[in-house]
Copies of this chain bind each other. A is one copy, B any other.
Amino acid sequence: MNGAESLLQTLIDGGVEVCFANPGTSEMQLVAAIDKIPGMRPILGLFEGVVTGAADGYGRMADKPAATLLHLGPGFANGMANLHNAKRAFTPIINIIGDHATDHLPLDAPLTSDVLGHATLTSDWVRVCKSVETMAQDGAEAIAATMKGRQANLIIPADYAWSEGGKIAKPQSPPALEKADEEIINAAANALRSGEASCLFLGGLALRDKGLNAAYRIAAATGAKMISEVFPARIQRGRNRPTVERLPYLGEFAVDALKNFKHMIAVGAKPPVSFFAYPGKPSTLWPKDCNIVQLAVQQQDQIAALEALADLLEAPEVALPKPIALPEIEQGPMTSETVGAVIANLIPENSIISDESNTSGVFSYGYYDSAAAHDWLSLTGGAIGQGLPVALGAAVACPDRKVINLQADGSAMYTNQALWTMARENLDVCIVIYNNSSYAVLNMELMRVGVDNPGERAKSMLELTNPKLEWTKISEGMGVKAGRATTTTEFETLFKEAMQTKGPRLIEVIL
């Protein structure tokens, strides 16, 4: 048994079932191992940003890692933007990065680079495999390392992969989440008992059903407001769940949303800072006199902390209020809001939304509070090009659930290759592309730095007109059936059809 085979068998034994891959020559032994040993499903992505983004979507939904197979420094670099997002989402992922054989590395062949230097940029768990005998053990430790929401980056020199002497390693028990500090739970309870305006600022596992349930008990008992971070990795939403207000993206609005709170209990999220800095504007968004209690961070058991706090407050289980009505679908001119209203009305129970709609989705976000139950995945790290691959990975993790990708056009271009994999794997994803022919968020940002009337040169860097992208053609070129909507009625027809059939489908919304 060679090293590659021992590693692969160990990953399979440890419950890793899927490998999103874009291998090269240095990973051929792993390709051969996947071919030989049953139990690992390889899924090809035609660009590494697709591979890593898919692993992120998979991990968010499966709560366990997929593996990726990446080719040396440049292959890893291509996947880094979505690994950045995955890091911010605390997604478990095992990246297997092939490197040159140990004798070959010092020769500085054309593809040589500092793979270790690359890998340390996205994770604090990085290991360069030191021998064929220990490769599988590295793999077993890598799985365990991911279970607290991080990436394991395992660098495999090609000669260790091809050499005989691999030893399958036993799965390791993953480390348990740390418990929240009792004193801090007490401090949170005292803050909430004060009667002063308070909020629960929620991220991470606090936004899953159990966390939301405990948070809702607390909110109902104390009057605290439930607010989520701007871009949660995964929030469970819909009409039979507690409604959570989303912190606004723009700092000014976020400051306004938080201005009255005297206490903020942060769970699974850090106290919020603005995405970017602006001259003369604050970067921290909470009021100066607000008492911040960090109840639990991502590495801690956030749900247990919320439940302990609810119990300490003697907060009973309470029924949810009657859900607000679904938004009305206004006919007439199509806007991103009318599109959002259609989607909120039509998504099936238990669907998954991968949201990278950016400016086009911001005003319809609230509509989904009254939609059928769903999981909402958002752009955690701000590195665009996440929406399509995350939808892909979520669909692999949850083959019985409908996935809807709300997708801005500029961001979609970054990892458009994901469409091909969706077609190849016949994944049940409906992509809604908001084609506004613009990096709309940047037009806004340009105004915010004081350019009110941009000239041709500035506009040429922010507008996606000349030529306009034709997403139906791009999609069909990669094998995904596509339709175009120019009115709300057309969109409704196309979206309804997509909800009633299985398989990948793209709808281009011309805004």
Contacts and interface: CB of A to CB of B under 8 A. Distances in A.
A497 B284 CA distance: 60
A172 to B, nearest CB: 26
Interface stretch (A129-137, A143-151, A442-450): A442-450
A261 interface: no
Contacts of A476: 470, 473
Interface in A403-444: 410, 413-414, 416-417, 420, 423-424, 441-442
Q: How large is the interface on A (under 10, 10 to 19, 20 to 34, 35 or more residues)?
A: 35 or more
Contacts of A322: none
A488 to B, nearest CB: 24
Interface string A92-125: 0000000011011001111101100110110000
A439 to B, nearest CB: 9
A270 interface: yes
A34 B457 contact: yes
A242 interface: no
A36 B467 CA distance: 25
A121 B424 contact: no
Contacts of A469: 420, 477-479
A28 B448 CA distance: 9
B383 A74 contact: yes
A380 B110 contact: yes
A474 interface: yes
A413 B477 CA distance: 11
Given A104-B283, A461-B44, A111 B28 contact: no
A275 B110 contact: yes
Contacts of A455: 35-36
A462 B471 CA distance: 26
Given A275-B25, A284-B107, A477-B472, A74 B84 contact: yes
Contact of A109 (B31, B121, B274, B474): B274
B101 A277 contact: yes
Contact of A473 (B69, B449, B477): B477
Contacts of A36: 455
Contacts of A413: 46-47, 417, 420
A375 B258 CA distance: 61
Interface string A19-31: 0010111101101
Nearest to A447: B28
A118 B76 CA distance: 12
Count this chain's copies in the assembly: 2
A449 to B, nearest CB: 4
A23 B77 contact: no
Contacts of A43: 460
Contacts of A464: 46
Contacts of A423: 467
Most B Cβ at <10 Å: residue of A28, A101, A464, A473: A28
30 contacts: A26-B276, A28-B448, A29-B449, A32-B451, A34-B461, A40-B457, A42-B457, A42-B461, A46-B464, A47-B414, A74-B84, A75-B383, A77-B77, A77-B78, A77-B81, A78-B80, A78-B385, A88-B110, A101-B276, A108-B273, A110-B382, A117-B117, A416-B416, A416-B417, A420-B467, A423-B467, A467-B479, A470-B477, A474-B477, A475-B477
Given A46-B414, A77-B84, A108-B270, 19 more contacts: A25-B442, A31-B451, A32-B449, A49-B78, A74-B81, A74-B381, A75-B383, A78-B80, A78-B81, A84-B113, A104-B283, A109-B273, A110-B382, A111-B381, A158-B277, A470-B479, A471-B477, A472-B477, A474-B477
Interface of A: 21, 23-26, 28-29, 31-32, 34-36, 40, 42-44, 46-47, 49, 69, 73-75, 77-78, 80-81, 84, 88, 100-101, 103-104, 107-111, 113-114, 117-118, 120-121, 158-159, 162, 231, 270, 273-277, 279, 283-284, 380-383, 385, 410, 413-414, 416-417, 420, 423-424, 441-442, 445-446, 448-451, 454-455, 457-458, 460-462, 464, 466-479
